[in-house]
Amino acid sequence: MNLHHHIDVEVVVVPPVFDYPSTDAEVEIRAGDAAAHGGIPLTQDVVMPMASPVLLKQLQPMLTPADLVGAPLIRTALEPWQPWFQAALLDWPEPAQGPKFQDLGLIYEAAVKGHGVALCRPSLVHDWLLSDTLRPLFPVFSRPVNQYYALANTNVPEVRLFVHWLQSLCAEQAVVSHELAQRALAQHAPAAASPQ
Q: Return the CATH number at 104.
A: 3.40.190.10
Within a domain: 22: no
- Four-point Cα dihedral 97, 87, 60, 188, nearest 10: -130
**Number of domains, the chain:** 1
> Is residue 7 one of the residues assigned to a domain?
no
The model's pTM: 0.83
3-state secondary structure of 22: coil
Per-residue pLDDT of the chain (196 residues; tens, 9 = 90+): 566 677 777 766 666 555 566 667 888 888 888 888 889 999 888 999 999 999 999 999 999 999 999 999 999 998 999 999 999 999 999 999 999 999 999 999 999 999 999 999 999 999 999 999 999 999 999 998 888 899 888 888 888 999 999 999 999 988 888 898 899 888 886 544 444 3
First to last CA, the chain: 46
* Closest by CA position to 27, among listed 191, 139, 165, 179: 165
Q: Of 91, 89, 52, nearest to 74 (Cα)?
A: 52
Please report whether residue 59 resides in a domain: yes
| 12 inside domain | no
What range defines the domain where residue 89 resides?
Answer: 48-143+178-191
- Of 52, 48, 188, 49, which Cα lies nearest the Cα of 114? 52
